[in-house]
Amino acid sequence: MTMLPRATDVFVIGGGPAGLAAAIAARRRGLDVIVADCALPPVDKACGEGIMPDGLAAAAALGLDLSGAAGHTFRGIRFRDAGTSVEADFPAGAGRGIRRVELHRVMVDAAIDAGVRLAWGTRIAGVSAAGVQAGDRTVRARWIVGADGSHSPVRGWAGLDAAHHESRRYGFRRHYRLEDPGDYMEVHWGDACQLYVTPVGDHEVCVVLISRDPRQRLADVLPCFPEAAQRLACAEPLNPERGGVTVSRRLRAVARGNVALVGDASGSVDAVTGEGLCLLFQQSLALADALAAGDLRGYEAAHRRIGRRPGFMSDMMLLLDRRRLLRGRTIRAMAAEPRLFAGLLAMHVGACSAFDFFANGLALGWRMLSL
């Protein structure tokens, strides 16, 4: 616990992965940084807990080595839908499943090592030209970073709530002890919901239900996914089911005056992409560059560029969620010609060009027509 200073270069509101990443990046650029959060560590969240290879690369650029963190490596992605299955390895590197509390522990340690000051258990009441109203004092700050999640108060205080697009779904997570967690992240497609199974330990998986219905729970939908139900039949639940909201939101602006937003506070893609952590790592690096340069306009442009590919992939995968017949035909086409799925996965993790993706899309479309 750090006492609040009278002034700082950067005041980060929110001590989750987004806030810690932004703080670490800014501190590495030589700025004085404090992070405040009303919670106490470790900070948990109901999420899929899988980090794609591009996310691990972005973490490494921040100076975060996640290879030694407790978790489990996975080599690729497997889709399952109505008895059809297709899988592909990542074109380079591997993903890693890490429990969110373990990730938070690693990031807190990295922030401390970088010289970031951490003020846990501190309630933020507002921001103004004078600074941040934190606890019983106002802390002067040259820059204020809102990293306080999808329901961000900072976004409202700064007048940045206006959005181009917004939709939401509901997620429910539980961990299970499983003798063989496998080496693929699995996505089981169903009508209006998906089930994600991610290896996060040598004998542990994270299972997440994502649905448009807030009343659905894992026990309700497991019978609809026979492969997953069979696999988990003898698995031991390790904790109670935990829920959350996954929001797809694109804001009109992510900075105003001396306030910038990062992570889910700055907009987000649906959890179906698995790219949330990658986005916040990349955004944090871009934000630190802008803060060091003293101009947030560069961050606005970089934020739009960083979100373009994940936003496209999110839209495409949500289309499959809504259109059962299209989804079935698409997955059958990829199962008949797995290189098409490998090409889609390469695009997903930013490992192929727009031309290659376009060519792969044409080949997929042709294969779907031939079924």
Among 113-122, 180-189, 339-348, the minimum mean pLDDT is found in: 339-348
Share of the chain above pLDDT 90, in %: 63
pLDDT score of 366 more than 60: no
Average pLDDT, integer, range 220-241? 92
Residue 132: pLDDT band with limits 50, 70, 90: very high
Residue type, 313: M
Separation between Cα atoms, residue 46 and residue 77, nearest integer Å: 20
pLDDT score of 1 more than 80: no
Q: Which whole-number Å values give the CA distances from 303 to 18, 250, 297, in the listed order?
A: 14, 11, 10
pLDDT tens column, 190-203: 988 999 999 999 99
Residue 343: pLDDT band with limits 50, 70, 90: confident
Per the prediction, the chain carries an average pLDDT of 90
Which domains does the chain carry? Answer: 7-49+99-162+252-315 (3.50.50.60), 166-245 (3.30.70)
| pTM higher than the cut 0.75 | yes
Other C-beta atoms within 10 Å of 103: how many? Answer: 28
pLDDT score of 367 more than 80: no
Residue type, 29: R
pLDDT score of 164 more than 70: yes
Separation between Cα atoms, residue 327 and residue 149, nearest integer Å: 31
Tell me what pLDDT residue 29 has. 96
Residue 247: pLDDT band with limits 50, 70, 90: confident
Separation between Cα atoms, residue 98 and residue 49, nearest integer Å: 5
Average pLDDT, integer, range 341-360? 74
Residue 353: pLDDT band with limits 50, 70, 90: low
pLDDT tens column, 268-316: 887 777 888 999 999 999 999 999 999 999 999 999 999 988 888 888 8
